[in-house]
Amino acid sequence: MNRCLTDLCNLLDLEPLEDNLFRGESRDLGGRSVFGGQVISQALVAATRTVDAQLPHSLHAYFLRPGDMEVPIVYEVDRVRDGRSFTTRRVQAIQHGQPILSLMASFQRPEAGFEHQMPMPPVPTPAQLGDQRQQRLKWLEDEVARNPAFPERLRIAFTREQAFEFAWVDASDPFQPQPGPPQQGIWFRAAGRLPDDPMLHRCVLAYASDFNLASTALIPHARSWFSADMIVASIDHALWFHRDMRVDDWLFYAMDTPTAQSVRGMSRGLIYDQQGRLVASAAQECLMRPIKPT
């Protein structure tokens, strides 16, 4: 387990303050506010701390305000319902006395039933795609040469060690984006071995599910997170857990974007393991507002 993954596991180990009340810290990933996946995963952890013998099967979250990376986040859990099969929790993430995220999570006891799934698309394996790090560093080097005023904050964010490894099926230069089809596929896994705890793997997957969904909606418009003429932010996020998985094994994220309108872009994702099992699904709407670059 690398240093960043260890730190992520520590971030998910929330401090209990009182019954139904927890506190978590934040990390700067290079954005202007707290990474949305962090708040989602910490809110899910807070909900799981109030549930026995059930695993989360879905969550729905709204991002209400940008998170302040310098201030702890307090998570308040409302025990909405405790049922024999399903349990529901509402979580408010609070900073400066105001909610920054509101999340509903549903939990279920294990139960057998009918099964079917959409098949995994045919894609190269992570081994066939190889290590793409040198290519990405070359894109950054070229961009800095073109733009000597390139922000140091973004350079550090692009080159720092991460808690996850990624392999793009069709890697493209994020600094010189070109219009492409409304979809992308990315392999990802945690950068080290995690404990054998199904709840932890679902919470870590919730964290990782926020990577790359919003960027999918930007592809048809030749934009990326690094485009100076865009404001991009997550508005809401939904995640469904279908089957147990290990996030420290390679998972494939098949994403598409069916529509964008009214400065909002919609993205969807199906997450498969290497055996082709559909383990989770995600959906997200993001703000993608054109602005005059500064």
Tell me the catalytic residues: 210, 234, 284
CB 191 within 8 A of CB 4: yes
Angle between the 198-208 and 36-48 helix axes, to the nearest 10 degrees? 160
- Distance between CA atoms of 94 and 100, rounded to whole angstroms? 6
CA-only gyration radius of the chain, Å: 19
- Distance between CA atoms of 96 and 186, rounded to whole angstroms? 36
**Pick from 239, 243, 253: which is nearest to 198 by CA?**
243
Cβ-Cβ contacts under 8 Å for 218 (sequence gap 6 or more): 177, 224, 225, 227, 230, 232, 265, 288
- 49 by Cβ neighbours in 10 Å (0-12 / 13-18 / 19+) ranks as middle
CB 287 within 8 A of CB 233: yes
Residue carrying structure tokens 């493209």: 172
